[in-house]
Chain A
Amino acid sequence: MFQKIDQYRYIIPTSYKKGMRIEGMVYADDDLIKQIEKDQTKEQVANVATLPGLVGRSLAMPDAHQGYGFCIGGVAAADPDEGVVSAGGVGFDINCGVRLLAAPVDAKDVQQKIEPLLNQLFRDIPCGTGRKGLLEISTSKLDGVLRDGAQWAVKNNYGREEDCARIEEFGKLPEADPSLVSARAKERGHHQLGTLGSGNHFLEIQRVTDVFDEEIARKFGVHEDQLVVLIHSGSRGLGHQVCTDYLDIMQDGMKRYGISVIDRQLACVPITSSEGQRYLKAMAAAANFAFANRQMMTHWVRNAFMRVLGTGDVKIVYDVCHNIAKMEEHEIDGKRRRVLVHRKGATRAFPKGHPVLPEELRDVGQPVLIPGSMGTSSYILVGTEQAMKETFGSSCHGAGRAKSRTQAKKETSAEQLLKEMKEKGIVVRGESRSGLTEEKPDAYKDVSRVVDVVHGAGIARKVAKLVPLAVMKG
C-alpha cells in the first residue's frame, strides 16, 4: 500500500503496519517501484519505522532492495536522547564506500596502456576471497589505524596531506575507540588492510563520457574524457566482526531496556546507553579501518600509474561512506537538532555551504559517487539543499541488486560474460569466475534510472557520467 505523492515519491503511511511510529517514504519511478515491490523492501522500511525515537521518516532510496533488518538503500535518523542505535542499521560492512580518483591523463591518449595498467593494479592490489594483504601489521599499529583512519595511512607514507580533505569526515571519525573492538575483530582484520575484498567490491578504470555541469565538474577536478579510477571496498573482516559482536550485545541489551523489535536483525539499544555508546565508538574504529584501507589502495594505484603511465599525480575526487551511523545536525519540523543518521547503502549528499565540507568544496557541495554495476556506468553527483530538507542529507549508493546470485549464475557463464565485456571494449580481471557472473551487469537495476530519480527528486544533482574501460573484481 504505497501512496504515490508525485513522480518520484511514495509514502508508506503509519496505518500500513501496527507499531509504525513514523511514516515511510520510498524514492522511485513507476518502473523502480515495481521492482521494489517484488521483495521485502517495503516491509523492512515499515519495520524500521517501528523503532523507538526515530524522527522524520523511514526512507528508502531508488536503489533499495531487501536486506537484513533494514533494507539496503535505507536511511533513518534517531533522536539522541530518546532514540536507538542499531548495528543492523549500519550493516556488517561498516563504512563500505567508494572513492573516486582522477588521473592527469585523458583516455584517448592512453588507450594502449589500459590493459597493462589493469594488469599492474591486479598485481599490486590484493583482491578476491580470503586473500591476505601485502602487510601484516602489529596490534599496536592496528590501533593507530582504528584511531586515525586515512590520516594514519597518510602519516605512514601511504598518501599526501591534501588527500584527507577529499574524504568524508576527513578520513577519520574522531570518536573511535580501538579498545572497544574485540580481539576477534582485530584478528579477522589485521592482515586484510589494503585489500579490495570480493563480492560486489571492485576497482574500475573509467572514462568521463558526459559532463552535465561543467563548472561543478571543474571544481571537483574532472573533465570530459579524463581517466578516473573508482574503488569500492569496505572494512573487510574487521568491520564484519564488529557488527557481529555488537549485534549480540544489542540482543542482550534490548531485554535490559525493555525494547522489542519485529525482526531480530533490527536489534537496537538506546543511543545514551553504555552499549549504544560502545557500539558507536567501535563502529567509528571500523569505519576508520575502511578509510585507511581505501587510502592504501589509492597509494598503490598511484604507484601503478607511475610505473605504467609515468605519472603518479592521481588526485582524490572524493571518498564516501555507504554504511554508517553519524551524529549530524538537521532541521526537523522547523528546528535544528542533532540526530543520529543511519545510512545503510546510502550516501551522504551535503549541499554547498555546509560547514563540515572542506574549504575547497564549500562553494560547490559534496561530491556524491554512485557506482553502477560491472560494465555499466557510474555517476558523480553533487549534494543539494533538498536532500537536507527531505533525506537527512542523503542520496542513493549504487544500482541496487535486482537478481539473486544463484539466478545470475544460472543465466550467464563466465565465458559469455567476458565475451560481452570484450565486445564493449572492457577488459576484466577477476579472481573468481563464479564471483564474476554473480556480479553481472543485469543482476542489478539500471543505474541511470536510479540516478535520474535522485536527480529528478532533487536529492542530488548529476554532474558527470563515467564508463568503465577496465574492471578488477575480487
Chain B
Amino acid sequence: MSGPFNSYVSRVEAPYTILEHPADLGIEARGASLVEAFQNAAAGLISIILDPTLIEPREERQIRVTASDRDQLLVKWLSEILYLYDGEGFASKEFFIRRLGLTDVEASVRGEPFSPVRHQTRLDVKAVTYHQLLVHEGEPGALVRVYLDI
C-alpha cells in the first residue's frame, strides 16, 4: 500500500488501553503526538466493537469534523468513526489524520463494508461520552482518555 498510511498509520504495539467503568468501558490512548493519540483512540474504539484483525483496509473514506474545542473534537472524531460503522456499515481499520487543529480534524480512514459473515462483532457501542475526558499534549507524548456508553 502506498501513500501516507505507510508512514503514519498507528500500528504500534498496544497503543491503547481499555479502561473499566462500573457499567461501561473507556479507552486511554497514547502517541508521540496528539495526532497519533487520536488515531490510536480510534483504533481502540474499533477494537471494542469488532475484531480488527479481520478487517481489510480495502476502501478509503474521508472524514472532516469540527468542534468548539479539543475535548469536543475528540468526542466528535470518535463519534464519527462510530457512525461510519453503525450508520453506514463501514468497518474502519486504519486511521490517518492529515490535519488536527484546535477545532477541526481532517482524516482518511481505511477499512471495508461490514460483513456479518467475515467480521466478528464484540460489543455495541451506544455513544462516546464526555465523562472524565482527557486530552493531554506534552512531554514525552500525548495522552487521551474517553469513556463509551455500552
Chain A residues near B (Cβ < 8 Å): 39, 65-69, 72, 91-93, 128-131, 184, 187-188, 197-199, 237, 240-241, 243-244, 247-248, 251-252, 255, 263-265, 267, 401-407, 432, 434-435, 474
Residue from B87, B124, B131, B147 with most neighbouring chain A CB atoms (10 Å): B124
User: Quick one: closest B residue to A71, CB to CB?
Assistant: B22
Q: In this assembly, does B76 line the interface, its C-beta being within 8 Å of a C-beta of chain A?
A: yes
- The 8 Å CB contact of B126, one of A92, A131, A264, is A92
- The 8 Å CB contact of B122, one of A129, A255, A264, A267, is A129
A401 CA to B22 CA in the complex, in Å?
7
B86 with A188: CB separation less than 8 A: yes
A129 with B18: CB separation less than 8 A: no
Interfacial chain B residues near A404, Cβ < 8 Å: 20-23
B130 with A66: CB separation less than 8 A: no
Known: A129-B124, A187-B87. 15 other contacts (CB 8 A): A66-B22, A68-B24, A69-B130, A92-B149, A128-B121, A129-B49, A129-B121, A188-B86, A244-B128, A255-B68, A263-B130, A404-B21, A405-B25, A405-B150, A474-B124
A241 with B83: CB separation less than 8 A: yes
Interfacial chain A residues near B116, Cβ < 8 Å: 130-131
Interfacial chain B residues near A401, Cβ < 8 Å: 22-23
B150 with A199: CB separation less than 8 A: yes
How many of chain B's residues have a CB under 8 angstroms from any CB in A?
Answer: 34
Interfacial chain B residues near A199, Cβ < 8 Å: 123-124, 126, 150
Answer whether A264 and B22 are a contact pair too, CB < 8 Å, given A128-B121, A241-B83. Answer: no
Q: In this assembly, does B72 line the interface, its C-beta being within 8 Å of a C-beta of chain A?
A: yes
Q: In this assembly, does B133 line the interface, its C-beta being within 8 Å of a C-beta of chain A?
A: yes
Answer whether A184 and B87 are a contact pair too, CB < 8 Å, given A128-B121, A129-B124, A248-B72. Answer: yes
A406 with B20: CB separation less than 8 A: yes
Residue from B68, B130, B147 with most neighbouring chain A CB atoms (10 Å): B130
Chain B proximity of A208: nearest CB distance (Å): 29
Interfacial chain A residues near B68, Cβ < 8 Å: 251-252, 255
Q: In this assembly, does B114 line the interface, its C-beta being within 8 Å of a C-beta of chain A?
A: yes
A68 with B129: CB separation less than 8 A: yes
A92 with B127: CB separation less than 8 A: yes
A244 with B127: CB separation less than 8 A: yes
A434 CA to B121 CA in the complex, in Å?
11
A248 with B131: CB separation less than 8 A: no
B121 with A130: CB separation less than 8 A: yes
B126 with A198: CB separation less than 8 A: no
A255 CA to B128 CA in the complex, in Å?
21
Instruction: Mark each residue of chain B from 77 to 97: 1 if its CB lies under 8 Å from any CB of chain A, else 0.
Output: 001000101111000000000
Interfacial chain A residues near B24, Cβ < 8 Å: 68, 405
B149 with A68: CB separation less than 8 A: yes
Chain B proximity of A399: nearest CB distance (Å): 12
Closest 8 CB pairs of A and B: A264-B130, A129-B121, A404-B20, A240-B126, A68-B131, A187-B87, A92-B126, A92-B127
A403 CA to B20 CA in the complex, in Å?
10
**Which parts of B19-75 form the interface with A (CB within 8 Å)?**
20-25, 49, 68, 71-72
